[in-house]
Amino acid sequence: MSPHIESRRVNERTTSSLAFPKALDIHINYNVIRQVILGVASNNHRSTAQTKTRGEVRGGGRKPWKQKGTGRARQGSSRAPHWIGGGVTFGPSTDVNYSHSLSQVMRTNALKMIFKIAYDTKHLIIVDSLPLCVKTKEALQWLSTLPIDEGHIVIIDTLSSAFSRGFKNIPYVSFQSMQSPRIDFIAHSDWIVMTRAAIDGAFPDTDKTIKKVKKTATLVETKKNVTKPSKVGI
């Protein structure tokens, strides 16, 4: 018997059975999850620290004193790094690029693994749809119907902006859209609440995709098998 996921109805404690997505039947590789989370963090890192070198600091064009005859060490500029108010050597610069390239396959697999871990630990909750909670009291009442203990909750839907108004004042609840999910937010959350529409959009039926691939493959094969007419010399 294939595994199933319990789906909960809005404002009700009743559950229904939902077929387990075949896409979540994946081997969990924690190294891939770690690489993706660190890659997302490095891509969000913006180098804002900037110091000036001796050539960028204003002033210092005149020689402080003459080369010989003073008994002091020769100096060429008062903006040298060893002077107070001088330039900085090897300081931080905004030219540093902290971005890290991540393939779409790695991102998708990491998201699947996170959902698989949440499913194995029973921290993945599926709901039919999200209630339109305008007030915070209504949002808290809806959360009380879910089997959730203490911890941060991330709610994932296809379009999260229309339902997030009542949850804005709740500090331990955040919304994520399935079109552009933040993998680091989802990975660091304790509970994941998803709608059926989000699951269907994220993990379509694998059988349909296989059929589409087979059709395209047959078209390519037929094109290859077509023989071109040979040119007859006149």
Domains of the chain and CATH, by start: 4-45+99-202 (3.40.1370.10)
Strand partners, 15: 8
Q: What is the pLDDT of residues 181-220, one digit of tens each?
A: 888 888 888 998 888 778 777 666 544 433 444 444 444 4
Q: Which residues contact 119 (CB under 8 A, 6 or more apart)?
A: 5, 20, 24
Q: Which residues contact 195 (CB under 8 A, 6 or more apart)?
A: 126, 127, 128, 129, 130, 156, 157, 158
Alpha helices in 30-175 (DSSP H): 30-43, 104-120, 136-144
User: pLDDT at position 168, please?
Assistant: 82
Q: pTM of this prediction? A: 0.68
User: pLDDT at position 12, please?
Assistant: 54
User: pLDDT at position 212, please?
Assistant: 41
**Integer Cα distance of 157 and 77 in angstroms:** 62
User: pLDDT at position 82, please?
Assistant: 94
User: pLDDT at position 64, please?
Assistant: 92
Nearest to 53 by CA among 83, 82, 94, 90: 90
Residues of the chain with pLDDT under 50: 1-2, 206-220, 222, 234
User: pLDDT at position 209, please?
Assistant: 38
The answer to whether the beta carbons of residues 13 and 145 sit under 8 Å apart is yes
The answer to whether the beta carbons of residues 199 and 126 sit under 8 Å apart is yes
User: pLDDT at position 216, please?
Assistant: 45
User: pLDDT at position 214, please?
Assistant: 44
> How many Cβ atoms from other residues are within 10 Å of residue 5's Cβ?
19
